[in-house]
Amino acid sequence: MAYCFYNEVQEILAENVKIGDQNLGTPSPGRSGTGSNRSNISIAECQRYISFADSQVDSRLKPLYVTPLRRIKSYETPILNNIAHGVNVTIDMEDSGAFIKYNVVRIQDTYSMETANVTEVTSLTTIKLDKVTYDYSTINNLRISILKFPDPISLISARLAASFIMDRLYVQTQSPDISNFGKTQRSLATFAMDDILRGVMLLPGQDHTGRRFLRTSLLDKWSSPAEVQKGEEKET
């Protein structure tokens, strides 16, 4: 279970760095180096870098939180239409503003439950899911929930994975061993993890590593084994 998807890493990377499985480019005649859709790194390789990023997040947060972290229900709303199993299933609701593409969602009623992915937000009141296995009826308390890791965990993981990928690609063509882009992304991720350790940002729905018979959340002030200075691990 990764903290982010490769699509989120793609959003962090530079526009000319592509994640995918396309090995052949499509260059434009007469324009050297432009118009190519060739992938720089495969999806499988990107997922491996995401696992590296997740391990770094877990190691930093372990003094305060039980890791690996778990997804939580961040939003829930009733579904207004009956659902038949299939692909590209349309879901009607009162307000789809909380949903975005690639969201992991859970559909459930009194008798069944399953997870799916949002493929498109088609209007202010409708979204589309990649696939649904069961049939559902609104008379059985039908609802949909967004399942996600607490903010900003997914962004931290995506930034770290993107930095690892850029350093690898950069060193192939440049003499320095790391890129400024990679250093910046790691610094931003470090700042966010520092804020979590200092108690500036909380991770709701997660279990705390307490002090013997006392949960950390019962203390007025959270503390970690070491004093955390904001940005203390910023790369120079």
Q: What residue segments make up the domains of the chain, in order of their start? A: 6-69+151-218, 72-148
The pLDDT confidence band at residue 108, using thresholds 50, 70 and 90, is very high
Q: What pTM was estimated for this model as a whole?
A: 0.81
**Is residue 48 scored above 60 in pLDDT?**
yes
1.10.3720.10, 2.40.30.270, 2.40.110.20, 3.30.465.10: which CATH number matches 72-148?
2.40.30.270
**Is residue 143 scored above 80 in pLDDT?**
yes
State the average pLDDT over residues 119-144: 96
The pLDDT confidence band at residue 176, using thresholds 50, 70 and 90, is low
**Is residue 33 scored above 50 in pLDDT?**
no
Partners of 177 in the β-ladder:
none
